[in-house]
Amino acid sequence: MRLFSVFQVCRVVCAGGVALFAAGAAAIAAEAPKLAVVISVDQFRGDYLARFGPYFGEGGFKRLLAGGLNFSNCHYRHSVMLTAPGHASILSGTFANVHGVTSNEWLDRATWEQVNSVEDKASPLVGIAPAELGAAAAAAPAKTGRSPANFKAETVGDELKKKFGAGTRIFAASNKDRSAILLGGGRGDAAYWDENGRFVTSRHFRPTGELPEWVKAFNAEGRAEKAFGRVWDRLLPEAVYEKAQGPDNAPGETDAAGLGTMFPRRIDGGKKAISSAYYTAYDNSPFTTEALGEFVRRAVTEEKLGRNTGTDLLCVSFSQIDTVGHNYGPDSHEVMDSVLRLDRVLAGLLDTLDREVGLARCVIVLTADHGVVPLPERTSRTDPATGAARVRTTEMDAAARKALDARFGALPTGEAWFTRDNAGVHLRPTALAAKKADATEAATLVKQAFATMPFVAEVFTRAELLAAGAEGETPLAMMRRSYRAASDRDVVYTLKPWFIAKAGSGSGHGQPYPYDQHVAMLWFGAGVPRGERTERVHVDQLAPTLAALLGVPAPAAAKSPRMF
């Protein structure tokens, strides 16, 4: 109503289109919502809303689609399509070359140790003891500390903090630590994720070392434990899934966590009592999505989100679809059923938001961190010309070693020229020194060896990446945006489309192709027009668009234009 009257006044007073646009932007700011809700669905490909749309219920995705704006052709513009870089880009509007989060974990060149993207030794976990997270965590408890310390860009949340200070609350939750922490950003008030079915955080967010009473009470309700032995079956008749996705037990599916490859399955970890295997099985089941949905609904009430003096920010990232996508691929009954169950969870969340805040006072955006490649067993059957296959990186490494040995002299058995780090390598300074080898020449030899592999698409050396611009849509520019100049690898590469570097079974993501880069982008709520838009847009436009809707400046590194 108020927005309308501002336009009316402007039409009378000023005749120019530019002035009209300026008044429109002011009107959006005047109507700033009370709560922004950013929903990420891990591995939610851009085709899923259309593919599973006929099977949605009334209150979830359908409600957002009917009342919102669906960008059906939205893509990422960086190369390394993984969870941490995706979540770091969503609210910063920039890429790893700026925000520093190149991967889920990476090799630290100073210590030659693997570092988690949200690792912070100064910020121990709160709500769980490291020893409960398994043998590796028990052996190195400091490495379980978590915070946004490695995330170097500002987000829309930071802009809200600058404007409203204590008058805004930034709350993030996910099944994964990195997804919650990176969405919440550097000034986030709270980030929770689930470990062994409990929602936990770190000292960065809770310096007292205590969970809030409401989180303790929520955990004490024991949702994960109550789900022990629950059977996960399809919501709809099997024939519906067959028609949409093909057979349940397709070649290439993984029998992970004792769950088999077919419905129905009992969620118990293959044991008679609760064990660590059970929690892995639980993480694979949609019951973990239901628990996160309930946790977030509880948070809206307990944290009084949307009832602050400024605009609050709620970030939530659902992880389970990624887990089943890895095990069974995008064309599985498991992924379809997980999406349909998420649809029900979303319906519950929207009901809570409507009741507690009012949907007209919220702006909601739903997107994803990356997509997923179909199982190569399927692609090689439906499209044999692709040559889709599973490949082994050991073959590449052997070729590179051979080339380096031939040029500089063979290293003793048991010593290595390089250490692998994601899809690339760091040359070992000790090996280079021992053989008086020049790092740039060695990197070029590794590149040439990798490039001889029939499944490798592009190989770039550090020197090539540092000389490249981060603008444009070439494979080099996309990799440059995924590359951290100060401390990244000596050689990086991409696979040819449809190939997967995973032996045996299962699927994955991480490549600069539409099946990984095309993701959902669905807007709803205050200031959002209705409809579908089919022109190509990019995820890095989300941050400036949301900032404008909330009446705050775009984060400093978010340089892309708004989506609408």
Give me the residues that bind Zn ion (CB under 5 A), please: 322
Residue placing its CB nearer to Zn ion in the complex, 147 or 317: 317
Token pair belonging to 536: 């190509």
The minimum distance between CB 326 and Zn ion, in angstroms, equals 6
Residue placing its CB nearer to Zn ion in the complex, 45 or 161: 45
Residue placing its CB nearer to Zn ion in the complex, 120 or 322: 322
Tell how far CA 488 is from the center of its chain.
21
State how far the Cα of 522 lies from the Cα of 306, in Å rounded to an integer. Answer: 21
438 to 150, 200, 428, 431: CA distances (angstroms):
30, 47, 12, 11
Which element (helix H / strand E) includes 159? helix 156-164
Q: At what angle do helices 17-30 and 2-13 cross, to 10 degrees?
A: 160
Residue placing its CB nearer to Zn ion in the complex, 117 or 219: 117
The minimum distance between CB 43 and Zn ion, in angstroms, equals 6
The minimum distance between CB 283 and Zn ion, in angstroms, equals 12
The answer to whether 88 and 102 are in contact (CB under 8 A) is: no
The minimum distance between CB 322 and Zn ion, in angstroms, equals 4
Which element (helix H / strand E) includes 476? helix 475-481
Residue placing its CB nearer to Zn ion in the complex, 194 or 322: 322
The minimum distance between CB 259 and Zn ion, in angstroms, equals 17
406 to 415, 435, 445, 459: CA distances (angstroms):
15, 12, 10, 21
State how far the Cα of 428 lies from the Cα of 439, in Å rounded to an integer. Answer: 9
The minimum distance between CB 76 and Zn ion, in angstroms, equals 14
Pairing of strands 170-174, 312-318: parallel
User: Count of residues for the chain?
Assistant: 564
H helix and E strand count, the chain: 24, 21
**Phi, psi (5° rounding) for residue 107?**
-80, 130
Residue placing its CB nearer to Zn ion in the complex, 507 or 560: 507
The minimum distance between CB 539 and Zn ion, in angstroms, equals 16
Which element (helix H / strand E) includes 459? strand 456-461
The minimum distance between CB 509 and Zn ion, in angstroms, equals 6
Token pair belonging to 195: 């470990």
The minimum distance between CB 478 and Zn ion, in angstroms, equals 19
Residue placing its CB nearer to Zn ion in the complex, 104 or 202: 104
Residue placing its CB nearer to Zn ion in the complex, 303 or 322: 322
Residue carrying the six token digits 């957002």: 64
Question: Could you tell me which residues come within 8 angstroms of residue 232 by beta carbon, excluding any fewer than 6 positions away?
Answer: 263, 264, 265, 266, 267, 285, 286, 287, 337
SS3 assignment, position 138: helix
Residue placing its CB nearer to Zn ion in the complex, 322 or 488: 322
The answer to whether 538 and 74 are in contact (CB under 8 A) is: yes
Residue placing its CB nearer to Zn ion in the complex, 322 or 334: 322
The minimum distance between CB 325 and Zn ion, in angstroms, equals 7
* Position closest to Zn ion via CB: 322
State how far the Cα of 289 lies from the Cα of 296, in Å rounded to an integer. Answer: 11
SS3 assignment, position 555: coil
